[in-house]
Amino acid sequence: MDAFHALGLGFQVASSPLNLLYCFIGVSLGTLIGILPGVGPLLTIAMLIPLTFGMPPESGVIMLAGIYYGASYGGSTAAILVNIPGEPSSVVTCIDGYQMARQGRGGAALAIAAIGSFVAGTIGTALIVFFAPILQKWVINFGPEDYATLILMALIATATLVQGSVLNGIGMALLGVLVGLVGMDPMTGASRFTFGSLELMEGIDFVVVAIGVFAIAEIVQNLNEAQDRQNNVAPTGSIWPRLADLKASWLPILRGTGIGALFGILPGTGPTISSIAAYFFERRIARDPSRFGRGAIEGVASAESANNAAAQTAFIPTMTMGIPGSATMAMLLGALMMNGVNPGPNMINERPELFWGLIASMWIGNLMLLVLNLPLIGIWVKILSVPYRWLFPGILVFSALGLFSLNLRAFDLYLMLGFGVAGHLLSRLRCEPVPFIIGIILGPMLEEHFRRAMVISHGDPSVFIKSWLSLLFLGLTVAIVLLMAPRKRLRAEAAAA
Amino acid sequence: MFTRRLAVMVLAASAALTGAAQAADYPTRPVQYIVPFGAGGAAELASRVVSEGFTEILGQPFVIENRPGANGIIGTVFGAKAAPDGYTLLQANGATFSVNPLLYKAATYDPTKDFTPIGLVARQPYVIAVSAGLPVNNLAELIALAKQKNGALTYATGSTSHQLAGELFQKEAGIKLTHVPYNATNLALPDVISGRVDLIVTAAYTAVPQLGKIRPIAATSAERAKLLPDVPTFKELGYPNFVVEGWFGVSAPAGLPPEVVKTLNTALNKHLQQPKVKETFDKAGFEVTPSTPEEFAGFIKHELETGKSVVEAAGIEPQ
């Protein structure tokens, strides 16, 4: 069945009133939980799977998938408005998105994020349709040594994104890696840095650090500057993006989509790395990179498009090979299997209406999210103008609730407070939190893949040079450090002069 | 006013919590069913079916509570420490009961003493499969190749119970392999498919969609896996001591009153006999195995001893 014929079938399935309703429920729910820190798409999907047993499998999957990519829309809302990354892939959005919100351009940031995500979703869907087989091969070609060097590259790239010195950034990234190592050794099970505590054996959760270092530290800082805040909050002019914003964003959106689609397929690492790579690339080729970190719309546009494109292409290995790329994907896979569908190479042939129906509904879901989110922007911006003394306790309460709902234990909250203090110290010392949290996320992944590569090669480190992909990423890493460092020094010197 | 009501509620709740459940009325309120893994994965299906069965038959909601972490140790420790009043149950499985106490110092529980076994739910056969590109077609050829390569062949696992099967394989066949652990089987598949890793120990269920890219060589269960009827078992191929399976069961903290155990076990087995339940499990590659509490206790002991001998032979120290 050729692609257009198949898509036609898909749209037929996806536009049935029942499936449209489920799609709508899914994306709305997804957006909601994406905004709240703590509860994520994984938990929600897990809780709703039993509901899907009574439905036809297409409807169930459409709803669950809607939750999944809806959550990344919600995550960016929180990142932009209150500097809390709802998901690891929203961390990069915080950098420029939140700055834009502080400058009263939060509405524009949200709108561009939504538009960018929609475009990325559309193109991502098209990519799945036409390029799934080729993209599949891409996954198989990636060995642990390639993952390891790719993650290293992303880590270094993040370290160089900071406002301060590159050395500072790398230091923070390494500190993040160190914190990320807390817990059980993934290969031998030995406890590291746990001080005998059972809770720490699981490692330190991303949400804990995100709320502590980003939200709490930010709130403390804002309260410190209480006098100045009054002047900054009032949104000036229209909340919609200006034409200039749209013009500036459309290319970053396309570039971000491309990068995101490519990296999103890689299991595990995809979405986080996509947004980092896209943001970094955008900044590198910008005419005036100093705007990044101070509210550059291109930063938001590229990061958001990348992570939505990645969310779409993450379906490819799951659906076509039966290999889920993340825990959330594994859940979706499980949901399908429990409904009697066997994802894998045969699924496209055996259940075309399900596969193409899902693809078509992803596009419809993205459209729904755009239509849903744009009007909501007005409401979000109004929330921002609430006097801060009411706003920040609300943020704290919701964050704490969300975090507590993960494991139902007070230990997480104490840890969050600890990171809040640490985050405040970091901002006082002008150390950047973004490389720190990225280090926490990517550090364990880097270790896992590096050690696995070494085990498979029986201890031979030349495996990192023998693979052309790995060599490429290593080369890019060196290039990044060389390219970014001198510019920083020059700028720092210019600023000091 | 509100605090007074709250205090009364708290007092009432704590009064209800103290004291063992009256066997005749058990259960009189919702029961917590602890699953020591995150949502999703094989544990999900087993726990869901069980909790739904209990809810249906015993009339009170049996609620799943996921407590993941440390390969299942965190949830299991929590289950061991809970009050033995029948209102906290724990999902027991091969990884947490037979393997973790041998491999991890942090697993401070004793599977034979700290829990009251209630009943087995299902068993899941594993297979040892090779990458399609590896030039072996049966077990004899695989063992010969392994001996020739002397430790250079790699095998992937997605959980500690797979690792147990792998270690037992090495012990029984007298070969050495290099172990490559993964956090989950799905992460291992691309590496095995591409041939970077030579073998994989995985559930028969996971192997089926990948047939053609990986080639199952032998099944580790006592009988051939229903989903892969053409794959011979180790027993058939001349290794009668080699029986390892993934398994799930229901247990509770030690000291549960025998009447409550009987109530739960009867309800569990009744649910497992239903054709609808059998079908669900069959599709997922599980073989339903109802049992009495005593049989389950014996089973746990046997699994633990098998594990001990393997771990000692392999010289693995608890971390």
pLDDT tens-digit map of B223-282: 888 888 889 988 888 888 888 888 889 999 988 888 889 989 999 899 988 888 888 788
- Rounded to whole angstroms, the Cα distance separating A66 from A45 reads 10
User: What is the fold of B29-123+246-314?
Assistant: D-Maltodextrin-Binding Protein; domain 2 (3.40.190)
List the single best residue of A67, A202, A269 to mutate versus B (max B Cβ within 10 A): A202
CB contact under 8 A, A268 and B187: yes
| CB-nearest partner of A327 from B40, B45, B77 | B40
Do B186 and A324 make contact, defined as CB atoms within 8 angstroms?
A: yes
State pLDDT tens for residues A466-488. 888 889 889 988 887 777 666 55
CA distance B279 to B290: 15
pTM, two decimal places: 0.76
Distance, CA of B281 to CA of B276 (rounded, Å) = 9
Looking at residues A168-184, what average pLDDT do you find? 88
pLDDT score recorded for residue B22 = 47
B178 chain-A contacts, CB cut-off 8 A: 455-456, 458
pLDDT tens by residue, A430-475: 887 888 888 888 888 888 889 999 988 888 888 888 888 889 889 9
For the segment A27-52, the average pLDDT, to the nearest whole number, is 77
Closest of A290, A324, A270, A358 to residue A88, by C-alpha = A270
CB-nearest to B186 from A184, A189, A323 is: A323
Domain ranges of chain B: 29-123+246-314, 125-219
Cα angle at A213 between A306 and A273, to 5 degrees?
20
Q: Establish if B41 touches chain A: CB-CB under 8 angstroms.
A: yes
- The superfamily in CATH containing domain B125-219 is Periplasmic binding protein-like II (3.40.190.10)
B contact test, residue of A42, A44, A188 with most B CBs within 10 A:
A188
Residues of chain B contacting residue A333, judged by C-beta atoms under 8 Å apart? 186
Number of H helices, E strands in chain A: 23, 2
For residue A201, give the nearest of B66, B74, B208 by CB distance.
Answer: B74
Lowest mean pLDDT among A95-99, B32-36, B157-161: B157-161
Choose the closest CB to B191 out of A43, A144, A330: A144
pLDDT tens across A82-138, in order?
888 877 888 888 888 888 888 878 888 888 888 898 899 888 888 877 777 676 677
Q: What residues have CB less than 8 Å from A192, skipping those under 6 apart?
A: A181, A182, A183, A184, A185
Peptide bond just before B27 cis, omega within 30 deg:
yes
Q: What is the residue-wise DSSP string for A106-120?
A: HHHHHHHHHHHHHHH
Tell me if A305 sits within 8 A of A353, measured CB to CB: no
| A residues 173-212 closer than 8 Å to B (CB) | 183-191, 198-199, 201-202
In chain B, positions 274-293, which contact chain A (CB-CB < 8 Å)? 280, 283-284
Check if the interface score ipTM surpasses 0.90.
Answer: no
pLDDT at A302: 92
Closest approach of chain A CAs to the CA of B78, in angstroms?
A: 10
**Does the beta carbon of B240 lie under 8 angstroms from any beta carbon of chain A?**
no
Strand A191-192 relative to strand B31-35, pairing: unpaired
A406–chain B Cβ distance below 8 A for any pair: no
- Closest C-alpha to A303, from A48, A462, A14, A76: A76
Q: How far apart are CA B253 and CA B78, in angstroms?
A: 9
Task: Spell out which residues of chain B touch residue A334, defining contact as CB-CB under 8 Å.
Answer: 40-41, 44-45
Quick one: which H or E segment has residue A59? Answer: helix A57-82
Which of A287-296, A327-336, B102-111 shows the lowest per-residue confidence on average (mean pLDDT)?
A327-336
Residue A96: count of CB within 10 angstroms of its CB: 28
